[in-house]
Amino acid sequence: MKIKEIYALAVEMGISRDPRGEEAVRALLSKERERYEGLKEDEKEDYDLEKLTNPYSDTRILYGDPEKEVRRVLVGIDVEVQEVLLADRLAEKGKPVDLIIAHHPEGRALAALYEVMHLQEDVLAYFGVPINVAEGIMASRISEVKRGLMPLNHFRAIDAARLLDLPLMCVHTAADNLVTNYLQRLFDERKPERLSDVVKVLKEIPEYKTAAKQGAGPTIVVGEKDRRAGKIFVDMTGGTSGSPEAYAKLQVAGVGTVVGMHIKEEHRKEAEKNNINVVIAGHMASDSLGMNLFLDELARQGIEIITTSGLIRVARV
């Protein structure tokens, strides 16, 4: 496969599992094109043209020729300068890497991470929060994340990749959609009664089973193991953590348990105050599951996959 084909596959898989529904995402892309066509010429100069076909600002080809053929990839949850150097070292040892794939975004994909957070508004609406309320509580959080991203050194890893001429891309929300869809469907089907059952279901999944042995497995952080789970909301996509105000709205909407990758203390306290149970499945394990569902498609095309940086590789091909 060529790099551009791998990139297109990631985007299409993300759209097909998007919690908003594929039709809604296509409609958003159409609106984005209309907005672009209405821009002035000077405004178009800095416009990211990928936004016309890719709704995920944190999924991008960061460096390299899109036409390059790929036979071996190095994949990690986080790819920084050290992972780029590792790829170069592998080449010295006779295992050249054609493409590095990160999960967490770098470069422009990191700078624009906040843009994908609007996805969370629609997810909250799906679970019963009025869309006007969802947009209202997310507005300040999105602005906060945007400001927090401004001072970061976004292109550090990309500069290293450029100097060593190692193609680099990232697949973030597109992969997070895959794990969210996978788990939400599983919980909807299994309907675990109590929080202990939620944890049990998670530990049946190889990535979480491995993480548990590593000391980073599923953990109940709000609630007790014998508490009833109620309606389960898998909160694992949309860039980064949303607004802590969401817990009060989710309580009114009838959500009993949130299953997430990680949680800030402020969010944990709000969940506790609103009697919403929280099960943290595990960050690296959850990211690994989402990436694995994508990587399996590359494996089917005969691409060799080398993993690093916390990725728990489990093949389902």
pLDDT at position 259 is: 98
The two structure tokens encoding residue 196 = 């202990």
Using an 8 Å Cβ cutoff, are 169 and 62 in contact? yes
H-assigned helices in 116-258: 119-126, 131-149, 156-164, 173-190, 195-203, 206-213, 246-253
Please say whether the structural domain 179-282 has been given the CATH code 3.40.1390.30. yes
Using an 8 Å Cβ cutoff, are 249 and 137 in contact? yes
Contacts of 231 (CB under 8 A, 6+ apart): 127, 254, 255, 256, 257
Alpha carbons 199 and 217: distance in angstroms, whole number: 9
The candidate with the shortest Cα–Cα distance to 76, out of 65, 64, 90, is 90
Note if the pTM is more than 0.85: yes
The candidate with the shortest Cα–Cα distance to 174, out of 119, 121, 99, 242, is 119
Domain locations along the chain: 3-172+286-308, 179-282
Alpha carbons 315 and 154: distance in angstroms, whole number: 31
Using an 8 Å Cβ cutoff, are 57 and 115 in contact? yes
Using an 8 Å Cβ cutoff, are 72 and 96 in contact? yes
Alpha carbons 102 and 77: distance in angstroms, whole number: 6
pLDDT at position 148 is: 97
Alpha carbons 264 and 241: distance in angstroms, whole number: 8
Residues in the chain, pLDDT under 50: none
pLDDT at position 317 is: 83
Using an 8 Å Cβ cutoff, are 220 and 199 in contact? yes
pLDDT in tens, 240-263: 999 999 999 999 999 999 999 999
pLDDT in tens, 13-56: 999 999 999 999 999 999 999 999 999 999 999 999 999 999 99
